[in-house]
């Protein structure tokens, strides 16, 4: 199986996955291009986290193909994974280390020199407005600031693809809005490809690309305006209800 899209940063074709006899993902095809903010939108249990686990090689699937900047995830996993930055649904920062220590440790794992790592850390914390928090222990930060640090950490090695799995769950509305705005700016200004998994429809913005996943099947994929037109609806809330109201096909 080959994937023909020279502009794709992430390209998935024919991807399937099952837990025993239960099919979790069925023949998924998905593409994210440079500078594109794509929402992987689906209710809880749709298969979003399983898809992220396959993209990040936590799971392996005998069905289908995943490429990152043309690197086959199975045949050239090191090159593919180095091009990703990931913010998982469950927090993974070391609470007893400072912000600086968390970021510098991640940079060392990716082979960045000390000088380069410090420069990257300063850039990302400045962009987040958190430069003055670098020497605070993560344990003292609130949930929103911890998420911001996780985003900064994911970007330390300058990935081409940023994956975020339900990154705003449990945060208040203003904090969620700020984080969504920040990642949109990253995509627009840095040209990074973003795949943002969520069940929160208020995180969809005009101009976004939307991939709707329901019961392991693709229900829609394209610019928001096209999804609204295809479902004959006026809002993403109505479109989402229409696309996820029935059984998988």
Place 238 in a pLDDT band, splitting at 50, 70 and 90.
very high
Q: How far is CA 144 from the centre of its chain?
A: 17
Give the domain 1-83+193-200+208-249 fold.
Answer: Rossmann fold (3.40.50)
Residue pLDDT, tens place only, 90-102? 889 999 999 999 9
User: For residues 162, 213, 206 and 180, what is the CA-based torsion angle, rounded to 10 degrees?
Assistant: -40
pLDDT at 249 over 80: no
Q: What is the pTM assigned to this prediction?
A: 0.91
Residues contacting residue 34 through CB under 8 Å, at least 6 positions apart: 7, 9, 160, 191, 192, 193
Query: How do the domains of the chain map onto residue ranges?
Result: 1-83+193-200+208-249
Q: Is pLDDT above 90 for 112?
A: yes
Cα–Cα distance list, 49 to 10, 19, 25, 56 (Å) = 16, 13, 11, 10
**pLDDT (tens digit, 9 = 90+) per residue, 48-76?**
999 999 999 999 988 999 999 999 999 99
């Amino acid at each position: 199986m080959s994937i023909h899209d020279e502009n794709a940063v992430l390209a998935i074709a024919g991807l399937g996955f099952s837990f025993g006899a239960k099919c979790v993902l069925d023949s998924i095809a998905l593409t994210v291009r440079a500078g594109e903010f794509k929402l992987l939108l689906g209710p809880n249990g749709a298969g979003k986290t399983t898809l992220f686990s396959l993209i990040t090689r936590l799971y392996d699937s005998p069905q289908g193909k995943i490429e990152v900047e043309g690197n086959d995830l199975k045949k050239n996993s090191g090159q593919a994974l180095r091009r990703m930055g990931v913010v998982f649904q469950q927090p993974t920062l070391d609470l007893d280390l400072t912000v600086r220590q968390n970021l510098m440790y991640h940079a060392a794992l990716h082979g960045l020199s000390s000088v380069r790592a410090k420069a990257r850390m300063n850039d990302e914390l400045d962009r987040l407005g958190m430069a003055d928090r670098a020497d605070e222990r993560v344990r003292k930060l609130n949930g929103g600031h911890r998420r911001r640090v996780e985003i900064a950490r994911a970007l330390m090695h300058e990935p081409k693809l940023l994956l975020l799995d339900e990154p705003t769950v449990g945060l208040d509305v203003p904090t969620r809005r700020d984080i969504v705005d920040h990642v949109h700016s990253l995509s627009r200004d840095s040209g990074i490809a973003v795949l943002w998994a969520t069940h929160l429809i208020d995180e969809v913005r005009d101009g976004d690309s939307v991939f709707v996943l329901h019961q392991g099947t693709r229900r829609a994929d394209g610019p928001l305006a096209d999804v609204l037109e295809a479902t004959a609806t006026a809002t993403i809330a109505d479109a989402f209800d229409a696309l996820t109201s029935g059984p998988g096909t």
